[in-house]
Amino acid sequence: MQGELASHSYPIAPSTVWEILQAAGIAPAPQRSGPTWRQFLTAQAHGIIAADFLHIDTISLKRLYALVFIEHGTRRLHLAGVTAHPASQWTVRQARNLAMTLGCRMDSLRFFIRDRDGQYTRSFDAVFEADDVEILLSPSRAPRANAICERVVGTLRRELLDGILVCNEAHADAALTEYIRHYNGHRPHQSRQQLAPDSDQAPTLATVTDLHTHRI
């Protein structure tokens, strides 16, 4: 008899499950009382840094990979490096270089968001954990969990990479470095009231010179 009952399944409506849990005093998902992911990112923006890879195809059909980091609070963008072989050792080295570049600013960071790519090893995470930065892994196939970094990757494609032919690693590195200099120093950001990442005040109106009369 028990075997016969076990071999049959009976569909139960979600409302029935909810009533049973309510009667037993069990909340379906206690975590729902906390902040949403978006609220968390907004509240902790000044302590968050995120990373992502983007691929670049050269004119010889060789695929390159660039590792970029972005600070949520200031939207400051960092190019870690460009390589054709993003091995784990290379990735760890870029993380160490970033930590040295940030210097004392690492003390203000509390969270590091990354996906579950195999290039991010335990040694890579240890670079950030050494400065008490907590690693937050985004869920698989959930680009919105790392939306700011995904968005800047799209910006790099639309405003730079889609408009040039990349020859090799050195060319890609030089082009990205030059664009990121513009991005951090001059490109306005809506989330920062149209300020560039490296700017603390709005730009003043440029003085226009009459080239014919040399008058201002």
pLDDT at 189: 84
Q: Is residue 175 very low, low, confident or very high in pLDDT (cuts 50, 70, 90)?
A: very high
Q: Report the C-alpha gap between 111 and 81 in whole angstroms.
A: 22
Q: What is the pLDDT of residues 162-173, one digit of tens each?
A: 999 999 999 999
Q: Supply the Cα-derived Rg of the chain in whole angstroms.
A: 24
Q: What is the pLDDT of residues 4-59, one digit of tens each?
A: 545 566 788 878 887 888 888 776 565 555 688 888 888 899 999 999 999 999 99
Comparing 75-79, 137-141, 207-211, the range with the smallest average pLDDT is: 207-211
Round the average pLDDT of the chain to a whole number and report it.
86
Q: What is the pLDDT of residues 61-92, one digit of tens each?
A: 999 999 999 999 999 999 999 999 999 999 99
Q: Which residue bears the tokens 């969270």?
A: 111
pLDDT at 190: 82
Q: Are 198 and 76 in contact (CB under 8 A)?
A: yes
Reported in sequence order, the residue ranges of 97-172 that DSSP labels E, i.e. its strands, are 111-114, 134-137
Which residue type does 150 have? E
Q: What is the pLDDT of residues 119-137, one digit of tens each?
A: 999 999 999 999 999 999 9
Whether the per-residue pLDDT at 179 is higher than 90: the answer is: yes
pLDDT at 16: 83
Q: Are 50 and 61 in contact (CB under 8 A)?
A: no
Domain 37-192 CATH (choose: 3.40.1440.10, 3.30.420.10, 3.90.228.20, 3.10.310.40)? 3.30.420.10
pTM: 0.76
Domains of the chain by residue range = 37-192
Q: Are 177 and 77 in contact (CB under 8 A)?
A: no
Look at strands 63-71 and 111-114 and give their pairing: unpaired
